[in-house]
Amino acid sequence: MYAAAELAGWPDFTALVQDEELWNLACRAQAEIMTLPRYGQAGEHMAKAMGPRETARTHQAIEADMLPLDYQAFNRFHHGGKVRAQDVETMYDCLAEGRSGGHPMPALRTLLSRLEAHAAV
């Protein structure tokens, strides 16, 4: 979700989910990651339960609970620099794990490609 937020310029989650193409891509990537063997049955259940609407509701609720803190400003700061590099490394690890298990991980590949292109600008 933070990769999608970065690509969109860190808007609040209500605005982020309005970019349906990006939001759905991020949610598909999330599901691909959650269904990896490392997450077991719990991950399978989470992938089914955490579709685009539920993921949006979850993040919007967190955002509301954090007020008056600007949740996305915090995320932009926290998920920048070293943590961003760790986030991206984790996504690449998940991509490699999925591919080695015979899962092409198309949404995660696309999200990572877009993130790389965005970082290059």
pLDDT for the residue 80 = 81
Structure tokens at 20: 């349906």
Q: What is the pLDDT along the chain (121 residues), one digit of tens a residue?
A: 999 999 999 999 999 999 999 999 999 999 999 999 999 999 999 999 999 999 999 999 999 999 999 999 999 999 887 899 999 999 999 999 999 999 999 999 999 999 999 999 8
9 contacts: CB under 8 Å, gap ≥ 6: none
Residue pair 52/17 in contact (Cβ under 8 Å)? The answer is: yes
Tokens for 26? 């991020």
Quote the pLDDT of residue 42. Answer: 96
Which two three-digit tokens encode residue 78? Answer: 């926290």
At residue 101, the pLDDT reads 94
pTM of the complete model = 0.92
CB 106 within 8 A of CB 35: no
